Amino acid sequence: MGGAGRKVRQQARPGHAQSLLAWSGGLFRAIPISRAIFQVPQLGAATLVALLGTSQMPTSVRADSHRWMGLAQCEIDSPRLIE
């Protein structure tokens, strides 16, 4: 067979777009962490952990619903919530 159905795997090569994506991902994660460090004295550790956990859930649901990561969309049902 001629390999018509075979997917060609692209090699990751260093480039401006990839490095910019990596740096922006690190920057977007560093900002909330640095803000959290400065807010610990005002809020307390337990409150801050609770706020961080509850704010990440709606963010992940939104990212999944808009397919920001390029994954297939799956419906939420009871067995998925339990797993």
Q: Where are the domains of the chain?
A: 16-70
pLDDT at 60 over 70: yes
pTM of the model as a whole: 0.43
Question: Residues 34, 28: contact at Cβ < 8 Å?
Answer: no
pLDDT at 64 over 80: no
pLDDT at 7 over 80: no
Q: What is the band of 46 on the pLDDT scale with cuts at 50, 70, 90?
A: very high
CA distance 60 to 53: 11
Concatenate the DSSP letters of all residues of 11-77 into one string. PP---HHHHHHHHHHHHHHHHHHHHHHHHHHHH-HHHHHHHHHHHHHHHHHHHHHTTTT-PPP----
CA distances from 25 to 15, 28, 43 (A): 16, 5, 26
